[in-house]
Amino acid sequence: MSKGKRIGYGVLSLLPLLFMLLIQVLGGQIIYAAVTVYMSMQPGMDPAMLNDIVYTYVMEHYTGVLVLIQGVTLLVFGCWYYLGFTRKKERGTVKKLLHIHNLAGIFLLSVGIYFFVTLLLGAADHLVPDIMDEYNMLMEESGIVGLTLLSSIVTLVMAPLGEELIFRGLTLQYLRKTGLGFHAANIIQAILFGIAHMNWIQGIYAFLLGLILGWLCKRFKTLAAPMLLHMFFNFSGTYIAALIDPLPENIWLFLFLFAAFSIFTFLGIKVLEKAPLYQENTI
């Protein structure tokens, strides 16, 4: 492969992240502008209060805003991935992935990763409390903390599908086309995945999660594998977290989290080692 093609694929590997951020920024601005126009047309609207009213309305319906933005993200990157890769080459088989051993292993591993991330967050809360305060505020303002049906759809389905299309789908594939070995390409896509979260706390654990998601994509030769783990991980972070949050923070809680992380991760890896794979030397 020529040097020019390698550089071209390298540039292409960065475009999914840039387009994702562009969709988020422009999508938010377009929706905000549309709401502003709609509100300004209402009878008796006070122009001096318009901006405050629009802001309040958008924040009250922010989960719906996320649904629209995630929907556009899925459409754009789903078409991009299909036209760029899946239409040209079979990427694996979902049938083997749906074997009970694979599903159980991926679920156990995702829960283990969740407990590990919870340990990291607990440590960060003691070591860098100011950064954790900013992280917690960001999570509250993002509209993904509440346990509603719509927020669950965004968090458990739409976000994992979109992010896997972008990072383990397009980004990782383009990096491999540059001639990079899998491990180097996997590290780079995980770094970009961390950067996409736009804050230190999420960025660090997103990087670690991205490494595992990339490995899973390579192991099963299908994007459906990291999609499943990502969904299970977000499920744990939403619903298991709701059970753990009320517990008092003490040494016993941290011992429990460490034990849960060790057990679930060990079992997940062991189950996946015995799971049937789709045999094909790709990615």
Per-residue pLDDT band at 135 (split at 50, 70, 90): confident
How many Cβ atoms sit within 10 Å of the Cβ of residue 116? 20
The residue behind tokens 């989290």 is 257
The residue behind tokens 């001639």 is 179
Cα 72 to chain centroid distance, Å, stands at 16
Please say if the pLDDT value at position 248 is more than 80.
Answer: yes
Q: With contact defined as beta carbons under 8 Å apart, do 27 and 110 qualify?
A: no
Cα 229 to Cα 106: distance, rounded to the nearest angstrom: 6
Cα 50 to Cα 71: distance, rounded to the nearest angstrom: 28
> How high is the pLDDT of residue 126?
84
**What is the tens place of the pLDDT at every residue in 193-207?**
999 998 888 999 999
Backbone torsions φ then ψ of 114, nearest 5 degrees? -60, -45
**What is the tens place of the pLDDT at every residue in 7-26?**
999 999 999 999 999 999 99
How many Cβ atoms sit within 10 Å of the Cβ of residue 210? 27
> How high is the pLDDT of residue 277?
63
Question: Which stretch of 70-74, 147-151, 190-194 has the lowest confidence by average pLDDT?
Answer: 147-151
How many Cβ atoms sit within 10 Å of the Cβ of residue 95? 10
Please say if the pLDDT value at position 92 is more than 60.
Answer: no
Kind and range of the H or E run holding 182 = helix 182-196
Cα 62 to Cα 56: distance, rounded to the nearest angstrom: 10
Helix (H, G, I), strand (E, B) or coil at 45: coil
Q: Mean pLDDT throughout 114-141?
A: 84
Nearest to 64, CA basis, from 97, 104, 28, 10: 28
Nearest to 175, CA basis, from 19, 22, 8: 8
For 71-90, letters b (16+ CB in 10 Å) and e give ebbbebbeebbeeeeeeeee
Nearest to 26, CA basis, from 69, 64, 63, 59: 69
Nearest to 71, CA basis, from 154, 138, 3, 131: 154
Cα 191 to Cα 117: distance, rounded to the nearest angstrom: 17
